[in-house]
Amino acid sequence: MIKKTVSNVQEAVEGVHDGMTFMLGGFGLSGIPENAISELVKLNLKELTCISNNAGVDDFGLGLLLHKKQIKKMVSSYVGENAEFERQMLSGELDVELTPQGTLAAKCQAAQQGFPAVYTPAGFGTEVAEGKETREFDGKMYVLEEAYKADFAFVKAWKGDEAGNLIFKGTARNFNPLMCGAATITVAEVEELVKPGELDPNHIHIPGIFVQRIFQGKDYEKRIEQRTVRER
């Protein structure tokens, strides 16, 4: 077995520096790599490009990096929950590339699987398609979207083993599996790190080959963005 474990988050982020491009998993605040984000805030890296579906909220998730002005460019599909983000974007301090959610997923998956680009119908005829190659297949128009390139992917899984195999939980799965292996180095943090053999191979969502470093995460807040309940 090829061991992927590192002992802590400091070791997991070794090699990061200013100006790098990072992928970060999560949808809203669900399934975000909380430990890695905290460490990137501590390291005070600057001029980062972050590819992540959302940009966190003002005081949590990627909002923490935005607050310290560590991010130069954000690539996301929806950024509506973050006032500081909107302020930085409208003032021009922050460069923003808005990408349809399914296209964002496809561009991560393309990077993971060795496709240089994919055709998608999303965004055809809109400003998202401006400057991009388009092509007709069977009477319908498609936009050519290139695979992302990133230095590090930071993902969060529910369970993982020392071989780097990952299992996700509920809708916290979202973009996390697609970012594994889509960057030069993939760092996975897990709620529960187990010995090889403890996870049923039938249940693995992401094989360890896509993961370079895995560590046992700690102190997960798992904040809920919109707490909605019904009466008993």
Instruction: Write out the residues near other proteins by the rule CB under 8 A.
Output: 27-31, 53, 76-81, 86, 89-90, 96, 98, 100-106, 108-109, 120-128, 158, 168-178, 205, 222-232
- State which residue, 84 or 225, has the beta carbon closest to other proteins: 225
Least distance in angstroms from the C-beta of 204 to other proteins: 13
- State which residue, 13 or 108, has the beta carbon closest to other proteins: 108
- State which residue, 123 or 208, has the beta carbon closest to other proteins: 123
Least distance in angstroms from the C-beta of 225 to other proteins: 4
Least distance in angstroms from the C-beta of 39 to other proteins: 21
Least distance in angstroms from the C-beta of 197 to other proteins: 24
Phi (first) and psi of residue 3, to 5 degrees: -85, 130
Chain-centre distance for alpha carbon 110: 14
- State which residue, 11 or 59, has the beta carbon closest to other proteins: 59
Least distance in angstroms from the C-beta of 141 to other proteins: 9
Q: What tokens appear for 52 in the block? A: 């992540």
- State which residue, 20 or 178, has the beta carbon closest to other proteins: 178
**DSSP-assigned letter for residue 54:** -
Query: How many residues make up the chain in this entry?
Result: 232
Integer Cα distance of 181 and 155 in angstroms: 10
- State which residue, 64 or 179, has the beta carbon closest to other proteins: 179
What pairing do the DSSP bridges indicate for beta strands 71-76 and 95-98?
parallel
Integer Cα distance of 134 and 217 in angstroms: 43
Integer Cα distance of 90 and 45 in angstroms: 23
- State which residue, 76 or 186, has the beta carbon closest to other proteins: 76
Within 13 A of 102's CA, how many CA atoms are on the CB side?
7
Nearest residue to 154 via CA among 69, 45, 2, 67: 45
Least distance in angstroms from the C-beta of 133 to other proteins: 16
Q: What tokens appear for 134 in the block? A: 């388009």
Least distance in angstroms from the C-beta of 31 to other proteins: 7
Which whole-number Å values give the CA distances from 183 to 80, 107, 109, in the listed order?
26, 12, 11
